Chains A and B, each alone.
Chain A
Amino acid sequence: MYSNILPTTIAFLEQLFNRQATPEAAKWLKEKKDLVKSSETGKELYLPFSAAPRYVGKSTLSLTQKELEQANQLRKGFTPRHWTTDQLARTILLLSLPHENADNYSKTILKLFGTADMGELVALYAALPLLPHPEKFVAQATEGIRTNMGNVYEAIALNNPYPSENFTEAAWNQMVLKTIFTGKSLQKIYGLDERTNSDLARMLSDYAHERWAAGRTVTPELWRPVGPHINQTIIRDIKKLFASQNETEHEAAALACAQSGYPEAQALLNQHPLLKLKISEGQLNWSHISQKAITA
C-alpha cells in the first residue's frame, strides 16, 4: 500500500539527512543503502543498521515548519520532529530493503526487532508507519507497548500513526491507558479521537474511580476519549468534575459534554453558558487542556 510513496519518502528523508550530516556520513549511508537495495537475505542490512551511530552521529534533527508539513503530506501523521541522525539513517536503510516478497521482508525486519538494543528499537518502531506490509508488524508493535523502556514506548505510542491504523481495539485501549498511567500526554497519540470507543471510555472511568478512591487526581486529558461515550454511568463522573474546585476539570467536563449526544450531557453543558460559548468560539479545546496538564 505504501510502496508507491516509498521513493518520494526516501528522497525526503535523504534531503533531511544530507542537510544535517557530514559529507562523510552521507557518503557512508549512500554506499550502505546501495548494498541493502540489492540484498537478498537482509544480511547487508544488519551491520550498517546497528553501526549507524558510529558513522552518522546521534544529533537531534531540527526541522522547519515547512518540512514538518511536507512529512505529514507525504504520510499522514508522520512526525519526525524529535528524530536523530542515526534514526534517520536507520530508517532510510529499512526502506531500501527489497520488499516485493512480504514474508521475506517482514522476516528480516522482525529479526532486527528480536535482537535490537534501545536505540534500534526506537528507530524500528518509529519507522513502522513508513514500512511496506504494515500488517506484518502488528503483533510486534502490540508486544512493544508492553515495554518498560520509556523512549521505546514513546516511539510507538506518540506521534506515530501506526497504532491507530493497525491495532486491535483491545491493544489500542491498553496503549491509551498506559499512556495516561505513565504520565504522558494523550495529545501526542495520533488518531485518539477517531479510535475512541465505549469500552475505552468505561476503562478510563474505572481508572478515574480507582484514583479518586485512593485520594488522588487524574489528568483532565483523560476525559477526551470519554466524551463521545457518556452514558448514564459516566455522566456521574462528569457531574463530579463540574462540582470540583478545579477550573481545568470544569473545562474538561464541558469539552466532554460538547462531544456527546447524550441528552443529560447537553443539559449539563447548557448550565455552563460561558464554557459553552468559549468552546463554540474555539477558545477552549483539548489542546488547551493538554497544555495546562503538561505545565501543571
Chain B
Amino acid sequence: MRFIDPHIHMTSRTTDDYAAMQKAGIVAIIEPAFWLGQPRTELGSFKDYYSSLIGWERFRASQFGIKHYCTIGLNSKEANNEALAEEVMELLPLFICKEGVVGVGEIGYDDQTAAEDKYYRLQLDLAKEANLPVQIHTPHRDKKAGTIRSMEVALEHKLNPHMVIVDHNNEETVRDVLERGFWAAFTIYPNTKMGNERMVEIVKQYGSERIIVNSAADWGISDPLAVPKTASLMLEQGISIDDIHKVCYQNALDSFGQSGQMKESDWMDNTSIDQSQKLFNNSILRGGQLPTIGEIRTNPIFDSNIIR
C-alpha cells in the first residue's frame, strides 16, 4: 500500500527516518514551512530555510525514493515579530510559485493575536492570487474557537473551502470543518494532538470524505511512521481498504494536487533511486557508506502500530 504524509518536517529528521518511511510505503511527503523551535531574528534565515525546502531537503528525500513537496508561508508564532514579518511578506511571492511548492502553509493562529490575524489574512490573499491551496495550522490553546475563526476568516477572504486544508483537528473540531466544506487533516502526534485509536473512531464515525491523516513529525518526540501505522491499525479495526486509501493517500493528493505541482506520475513513473548522485557536490553518504542503487521495495513491519 502507498501512503502520502502531507505534513512532516523532515529538516529535523534523520536519514534513518527516510529509510523507514520508504520501507513503510510512504511515496510522497509535504513539508510545511514552520518555525524551528526557536524564533529566527533575521530575514536571511527565512530565505535560506525556504531555499533548503526546495533544494537540499527535496534532494535528500529523493535519495530514499520519496518525493518531497513543500508549502511556504510565515507561521503564526513568528508573525508576532512584526518588523520581521513585514520583510518575510515581501519574500513570499518569490517562493510560493516555485516548482514543487503545493500551497501556502502552515499559516493561521497560535495565540490569536492581532499580528497573527494580520499576516494570516495577507497570506490568504496571496494564496488566492496565486491560486494555491492553503494549509492551516490550528492553535493548541482555545482550539475550537481558533479553528472556527480560521475558517471564517478564510471565507471572508473569498477562499473556496475546497482549497483549504485545516490541520491538527480533533473530535471537537471535525464536524465544524467538514460541514463548512473544508478538508480536515488530523495529526497523529504522541501525547499531544491525536492518538491513532481515536483516529480510527473518527473515520468510523465520519467516513473518509475530505479527511486526511498526517504525522507532523518534527524536532519534538514524534513519529514519522504515523501515517502507515494508522493505516495498519485501521485495517485491523475493520476499516475498508478504500477508506484507508482515501485518508492516507488520495485525499492528500486531491487537495494539494490542486496546486498543479503534485501529480501521481511524479512518483509512479520512477521508482528507482541512485544514492551516488550529488547535489551541490554534497552527498548524503559519508566515507565508506555504500549507496543503494536500483529498485527499492516496501516492507512495513512495526513493533506496534498504536500511537497514543
Interface residues of A (CB under 8 A from B): 43, 46-48, 50-51, 53-54, 111-112, 114-115, 117-120, 148-149
Please state if B260 and A47 are interface contacts (CB–CB under 8 Å): no
Residues of B within 8 Å of A120, CB to CB, are: 98
Please state if A54 and B261 are interface contacts (CB–CB under 8 Å): yes
Partner of B95, one of A50, A54, A118: A50
Residues of B within 8 Å of A111, CB to CB, are: 94
Please state if A117 and B99 are interface contacts (CB–CB under 8 Å): yes
Residues of B within 8 Å of A48, CB to CB, are: 97
Residues of B within 8 Å of A115, CB to CB, are: 47, 50-51, 91, 94-95
A46 to B90, CA, bound (A): 10
Task: Tell me, yes or no, whether B181 is within 8 Å of chain A by CB.
Answer: no
Residues of A within 8 Å of B97, CB to CB, are: 46-48, 50-51, 54
Interface 0/1 of B39-63, CB less than 8 Å to A: 0000000010011001100000000
Query: Can you add 15 more A-B contacts, CB < 8 Å, to A47-B96, A50-B94, A115-B50?
Result: A43-B93, A46-B94, A46-B97, A47-B93, A48-B97, A50-B95, A51-B130, A53-B99, A54-B260, A111-B94, A114-B47, A115-B91, A115-B94, A120-B98, A149-B279
Residues of B within 8 Å of A53, CB to CB, are: 99
Residues of A within 8 Å of B130, CB to CB, are: 47, 51
Task: Tell me, yes or no, whether B281 is within 8 Å of chain A by CB.
Answer: yes
Task: Tell me, yes or no, whether B13 is within 8 Å of chain A by CB.
Answer: no
Q: Which of A48, A117, A149 has the most CB of B within 10 A?
A: A117
| Shortest Cβ distance from residue B267 to the other chain A in the assembled complex, whole angstroms | 18
Residues of B within 8 Å of A51, CB to CB, are: 97, 130
A214 to B143, CA, bound (A): 67
A120 to B54, CA, bound (A): 12
A118 to B280, CA, bound (A): 11
| Shortest Cβ distance from residue B183 to the other chain A in the assembled complex, whole angstroms | 21
A111 to B95, CA, bound (A): 11
Please state if B280 and A46 are interface contacts (CB–CB under 8 Å): no
Residues of A within 8 Å of B51, CB to CB, are: 115, 117
Task: Tell me, yes or no, whether B129 is within 8 Å of chain A by CB.
Answer: yes
A46 to B91, CA, bound (A): 10
